[in-house]
Structure 1
């Protein structure tokens, strides 16, 4: 305290500290990674601008995008991910060649994709397959029940076929004669009315007896 010099038994080194890393440390780190995008945040505006210009000289090829957004300024980044699907169960038992087609059910769970046979769905997942059966009743004057019922398992091809069949039945019902059962007699014949013309129909042979020549 009297102004005399004291012996210092240690060494002092000065280490640059700029936020979290100095330029030399960060530059080495970026050159090892060679990222496609560099976003500079959390720093004084002028210093970050100088750092941005310096990094442009370090990556002159233009393949690296260097951004220095302001506070609350959004930065958009588009990621392209490769999706890989794995076949499991029965589909995985067969070795496929390049160009072969695989038909199955694609199941996505989290970030994994699996292709499996419909019968294996309940084995490798908590799901199960089901069948939707459609049934439609169409008025039809030519049938004794006064209607026709169509039933099919719902799928694209079956639905496509059923539409013209329904249209055909509706068109036929306008053209066929109206048949009404009047009574059933003991000899196995039915007394029917065809467009108000009475006739006798044998249920076994299909023969029709009527005074009307058209029947």
Structure 2
């Protein structure tokens, strides 16, 4: 029976339950934001009318930094929101247990990804050098190819080598960078 039909056919009615939970946390709110973005695809930052930092996870769970000693989670109870809130609480409690850690900036994450791409390209093709502006110069059996490390564009007179490099780069990118859930 659909919830809206419950009143019509029975004497029962439906209700929405809004849950609020205070979780002890004394670290940086940016660490929570960083960790949530590692786990969830949709994490939005904002500040409410009282100028309190707020995060909204998948438009279901709201996390507010209400005090220096705790954060408050609020959600409308349903199975999915309850699961999301449970995972957020577990994550926050684990952060508190691990102690403070530095939050890597997006630029640092990108630099690490570029280093991994370079190392994997070296393992596949051998002679790989970094030129200016993220271009990799790959030499295989006398043929030279230029791979743009950002866009994946390859310039090479040898068509077979060009396709091998494009395929390898695409596979490496798939392993190094996460796939957004919205693309599926």
Q: Same fold (TM over 0.5)?
A: no
> If you compute each CA radius of gyration, which structure gives the higher value, 1 or 2?
1
TM-score, with length taken from structure 1:
0.26
More helix by share: 2
